[in-house]
Amino acid sequence: MANEYRIRPREAAAEQIECYILEHELTAHAKLPSEREMYAMWGINRTTLRSAIRRLIEEGVLYNRMGSGTFVSPPKLTRNLQDIKGFSSVARSAGHVVSSRMVRLGVREASKQIAQKMHLTLGHKVLEIVRVRIIDQVPVLLETVYLDTERCKGIETYDLANLSLYSILEKDYGIRITQGVENLNVTYTDKEEAELLEIPEGTPVFYQTGVVFDDQGVPVEYFKSIARSDYIRFASELTR
C-alpha cells in the first residue's frame, strides 16, 4: 500500500497500556504503574499518557481514584444473547453476588403493545413484575416482565425477588422456554429509571425488549429492560 498510516501517539499509548494489562495479567482493581514509570518503560510523554488514560477511563477499561492512582476496571458482565439463561444465573456463574429488589408487582390489563406481543386480546389480565437486579450491591438492570395471569396462576405468591422466574415456570407450571426474539438499542434514563439505577437522569443505557416463547411457540413473557452499559455488555457468537 502506498501510504502508511501514522498511528496517533495517543492511540499508540492506549494500545500499549491495554497490552500491558494483558501481558501482566492485571485483574480487576489492580493498580497501573505511575505515569513516571510508564514514561521510563515506553518513553511516552506525560501529556500523551494522560490523554490515553482518559480515553481508557471513558471506555471503561480503567478507573481513577483521586490521589491513589489508576486502576483496572472489573470486566463488565457479558450477556450472551444466544444464551437462554436468565440474568441471575449468568451473573452467578461469573462469580457475582446477585440479588433483586421488587419495585412493583400487580395485575393490569394488557395494553395494545403488550397484547400484540403476547398474542392476547386487549384488556386481558397480565401480571406485571418490575424488579431491579443488583450485582455486587450495584443496581445494574431494571426489568419489567409481563406474564399471562391465566397461565401462571398464583405465581405472584413466589419469592420473585430471589427465585429464578424461568425455573419456577419450568418446574411448577410445566412451561419450558425454548426460544425468543429480542430488540436492542440505546435510550436515556428518565427520572424514575435514574433513581432506581442510582445514576444521573439522562444517562445513556441499553434498552432491551423481547418476547420469549415456549416449546409450542406460544409467547410466555414479554419484557423490557434498562441496563447500565458501564456494568453490562451484550455479546453474540456468530457461526455458520
Partner 1 sequence: MSGKPKIDYHAPIYLQLRELIRAKIEEGEYLPGMAIPSENELAEYYGINRLTVRNAIDALVAEGLLKRVQGKGVYVCVVTDEKIERDLETLGGFRQTIRTKKARPSIKILTKAQRPAGTKYARIFNIDPKDMVYYIKRLDYVDEEPVALEEIYLPYQLLPQLEQIDLSVFSLYEVYDFYGITLKRAWQTLDLKKLEPSDAQLLHVDPGRVVLLFTCISYDENDRVIEYSRSYTRGDLCNFTVHYHR
Which residues make up the interface to partner 1 (CB under 8 A)?
Answer: 1-7, 12, 15-16, 18-19, 22-23, 58-60, 76, 78, 81-84, 177-186, 204-206, 229, 233-240
Closest approach, Cβ 218 to partner 1, in A, equals: 14
CB of 59 to partner 1, least distance (A): 7
What are the residue ranges of helices labelled H in 98-164?
112-118
Closest to partner 1 by CB, 3 vs 68, is 3
Spatial separation of the C-alpha atoms in residues 107 and 124, rounded to whole Å:
10
Shortest separation between residue 1's beta carbon and partner 1, angstroms: 4
Q: Is 37 exposed, middle or buried (0-12, 13-18, 19+ CB in 10 A)?
A: exposed
Could you give the CA distance from residue 221 to residue 214 in angstroms, rounded to a whole number? 9
CA pair distance 138, 2, nearest whole angstrom: 51
141 torsion bin: left (phi>0), alpha (psi -120 to 50), beta (else): beta
Helix (H) or strand (E) holding 196: helix 191-197
Q: Which is nearer to partner 1, 40 or 84 (CB)?
A: 84
Nearest distance in Å: CB 190, partner 1: 16
User: Between 122 and 181, whose beta carbon lies closer to partner 1?
Assistant: 181
Q: Closest CB to partner 1 among 112 and 240?
A: 240
